[in-house]
């Protein structure tokens, strides 16, 4: 894929750190460990035959594995659909159905949640994220953000 990809940009920044890259959510992490885990996730996604710009549900909880999830998805040229782990089950099901996700990432681990690949959507070409609004004025709306 040509052009800037957030995954590659963040990894380049992480490589500039020596040793610990910091602390997030009470957990210390080394940049090399984050990079290795993100590359493993990207390889697992490719092994599962994800397609370019495929939306993948990413369950987040303000932990270092959230960053691994984002990076792994971006390195595999997927579109992250972040969903907080405290989101009610019915809302989770609705969001996953709306984006036609067949994969999810929880705590840095890949899960298959569907069978059929999603339909091609040009709106998702070069997309990094689909962030859903709160739905305070109706149904939550997916906002597509590019790299």
pLDDT tens-digit series, residues 55-72: 999 999 988 789 999 999
CB atoms closer than 10 angstroms to residue 103: 22
pLDDT of residue 64: 78
Residues 27 and 64: their CA atoms lie apart, in Å, by 7
Give the pLDDT of residue 17: 72
| Contact indicator for 80, 69 with CB cutoff of 8 Å | yes
What pLDDT, on a 0 to 100 scale, did the predictor assign at position 18?
A: 65
Secondary structure element (H or E) that encloses residue 136, with its range: none
Q: Which pLDDT does position 12 carry in this prediction?
A: 87
| CATH assignment of 6-146, among 3.40.50.980, 1.10.1660.10, 3.30.1330.10, 3.40.50.1110 | 3.40.50.980
Assess contact for 103 and 45: CB atoms under 8 A.
Answer: yes
Contact 60, 108 (CB under 8 A): no
- Digit-by-digit pLDDT tens for the chain (147 residues) are 445 898 989 888 888 876 666 666 566 778 888 899 999 999 999 999 999 999 999 999 988 789 999 999 999 999 999 999 999 999 899 999 999 999 999 988 999 999 999 988 999 999 999 999 877 787 888 999 999
pLDDT in tens, 126-143: 999 999 987 778 788 899
Domain ranges of the chain: 6-146
Q: What is the pLDDT of residue 1?
A: 40
């Amino acid at each position: 894929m040509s052009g800037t990809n957030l995954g590659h940009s963040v990894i380049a920044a992480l490589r500039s750190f020596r040793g610990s890259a910091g602390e997030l959510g009470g957990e210390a992490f080394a940049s090399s460990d984050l990079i290795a885990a993100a590359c493993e996730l990207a390889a697992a996604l490719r092994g599962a035959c994800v397609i370019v710009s495929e939306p993948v549900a990413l369950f987040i909880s303000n932990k270092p594995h959230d960053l691994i999830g984002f990076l792994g998805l971006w390195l595999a040229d997927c579109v992250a659909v972040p969903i907080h782990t405290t989101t009610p089950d019915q809302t989770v099901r609705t969001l996953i159905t709306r984006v036609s996700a067949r994969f999810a990432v929880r705590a840095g681990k890949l899960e298959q949640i569907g069978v059929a690949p999603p339909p091609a959507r040009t709106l998702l070409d070069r997309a990094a994220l689909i962030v859903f609004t709160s739905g305070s004025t109706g149904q939550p709306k997916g906002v597509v953000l590019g790299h």
